[in-house]
Amino acid sequence: MSVSEKIVADFVANGIEFVTTVPCKQLGGVIDAVEKEPSIYHIPSNKEDEGMGLCAGAFMGGKRPAIIMQNTAIGVTVNTLVTLTQFYRMPLPMLISYRGELKEPVACQVEMAVHTKALLNQLNIPTYHFHKLGDEEELDAILKYTFMCNKPVAILTDATFWGGY
Amino acid sequence: MIRSEIIRDIAPILRDQLVVCNIGLPSQELHMIDDQASNFYMLGTMGLSSSIGLGVALAQDKTVISIDGDGSVLTNFGTLPTIANNVADNFILLIIDNGSYGSTGDQPTYAGGKTSLAAVAKACGCETVVECQAEETGAVLKAAIESQKMTVIVSKCESGNIKVPVITKDPVVIRDRFMTEIARRNG
């Protein structure tokens, strides 16, 4: 089983049935695995705040959601995270590609990377960082934690974890 | 007719459905006119009424009506292709189009200018799009519910506001009673 397939298997084992995605090269394998998983409704969104709205609705309708996006999305979604997900106390696992870290070829990505953890910290969002292969072993516990505490939780996955570009 | 008059007019239809209501005055008006456990009031997050409503519709079977505004749809234009490509026949998007940002002082929107939201929705691939006048909203909404086809309604009305109190209910209470009501109706 590939890492991408294992991540999606953890989603399924934790009852996640509604996943929205905004495209990312690094998370392409996970997005493909989500699309192939018959127990998950995969709904691509055009912008991450829209995706968080969809996830909020799905949760209230009785389905556990998740969002897959790049760290640039943290810059886009601060208002939604604060006034929707956190204010109404809703769970949201956020699987995030941590662009702009070691092995990054595109300088502009670094500009958002340097703010990513600071913003998540400022928003009091529990944050986990997958840096080495094997770190994904914690995903099952992170998902259980997310749905236990009804909070958005960030899982940053960097280029070293994914084996470079 | 202004928005609050439309909401007063359609309140008896709304109470039998699940409703996601737009931020600001629309939620405050619905809350004052006919508060129901089946109403989800947005207290913040401009633009996401249609996205939240579509999410609820895709997750369960009962009809969901998202009450949105022209300004809010303009804020989250990406929602229309998502709606078009993820057909939920239990979803109705009711855009009350008064051509202005009502909650912030009636500044004009582009929907009140050259932009037709009905034409945009159609271009995005939404198959059933009905533009109507404010007075027709109730009849059009009833027909959309009965059709069991995903429908986008653009109700053209006049700009203007009434005085309404802000919603002081705790957001977690609003969310919890909405979820409990959804579970009960799907029970």
Rounded to a whole number of angstroms, the distance from the CA of A103 to the nearest CA of chain B is 32
pLDDT band at B143 (very low <50, low <70, confident <90, very high): very high
**CATH T-level topology, domain B3-186:** Rossmann fold (3.40.50)
Q: What domains are defined for chain A?
A: 3-162 (3.40.50.970)
Which residues in chain A land under pLDDT 50?
none
HEC per residue, chain B: CEHHHHHHHHHHHHCCCEEEECCCHHHHHHHHHHCCCCEEECCCCCCCHHHHHHHHHHHCCCCEEEEEEHHHHHHCCCHHHHHHHCCCCCEEEEEEECCEEHHHCCEECHHHCCCCHHHHHHHCCCCCEEEEEHHHHHHHHHHHHHHCCCEEEEEECECCCCCCCCCCCCHHHHHHHHHHHHHHHHC
The predicted structure's pLDDT at residue B49 = 98
What rounded mean pLDDT belongs to chain B? 97
Chain B neighbors of A58, CB-CB under 8 A: 55-56, 58-59
Q: Do A46 and B182 touch (CB under 8 A)?
A: no
Domain boundaries, chain B: 3-186
Q: How much is the ipTM here?
A: 0.97
Which of B48, B58, B120 has the highest number of chain A CBs within 10 A, making it the mutation to test binding with A?
B48
Residue A20: strand, helix, or coil: strand
* Nearest CB neighbour to A63, from listed B59, B171, B174: B59
% residues pLDDT > 70 (chain B): 100
Q: For residue range B156-173, what is the model confidence (pLDDT) as tens digits?
A: 999 999 999 999 999 999
Model confidence at B68: pLDDT above 90: yes
Q: For residue range B39-54, what is the model confidence (pLDDT) as tens digits?
A: 999 999 999 999 999 9
The predicted structure's pLDDT at residue B70 = 97
